[in-house]
Amino acid sequence: MSSIRYIQGDATAPIGSGNNIIVHICNDIGRWGKGFVLAVSARWPEPEKQFREWYASGEGFALGNAQLVAVEPHLWVANVIGQHKITNAKNGLPPVRYEAIQEGLRQVAAFALTHKATVHMPRIGCGLAGGTWDKIESIIQQELTDKGIEVTVYDFN
């Protein structure tokens, strides 16, 4: 069983060698243009391009699904749909959907185990999605680290 490692740094520049997956959270309405995705798009065009194509196709584009996009040899970006819309609901609920993040991370875990990859991320689901880290951290532990997958969380300095 692994534990989550926390470091100061840029999640778009994962540390370590071998296969790496960068995980981030996307919304379910096909929007891309605020938050961590701007850093992703500044480094690689493919994750945004494939996310938009996935949304347009409608095939499997739903809360809880993950799309893994190769961006470099040994490096993938996981577009995880874990946010419903982009603003708080009328009842004040934030867009984060914990169950969807959990299911998306299950899919990332299967890919990571198959490819012997480590997982890297900012504090997913806690920025624009409005989630709380204690809930997200518990999901990461359950779906990734408890399965022996190394996870590094980056706090941007």
User: Percent of the chain at pLDDT above 70?
Assistant: 99
Bridge partners (DSSP) of residue 8 are: 155
- Percentages of the chain per state (helix, strand, coil), in multiples of 5: 35, 25, 40
Per domain, the residue ranges of the chain are 4-155
Strand 117-121 and strand 151-155: pairing?
Answer: parallel
Whole-model pTM: value is 0.97
Question: pLDDT band at 92, cuts 50/70/90?
Answer: confident
Residue spans of beta strands (DSSP E) within the chain: 4-8, 19-27, 66-72, 75-83, 117-121, 151-155
Mean pLDDT, all residues of the chain = 96
Q: Which residues contact 89 (CB under 8 A, 6 or more apart)?
A: 95
Homologous superfamily assigned to 4-155:
Leucine Aminopeptidase, subunit E, domain 1 (3.40.220.10)
CA 107/CA 101 separation, integer angstroms: 10
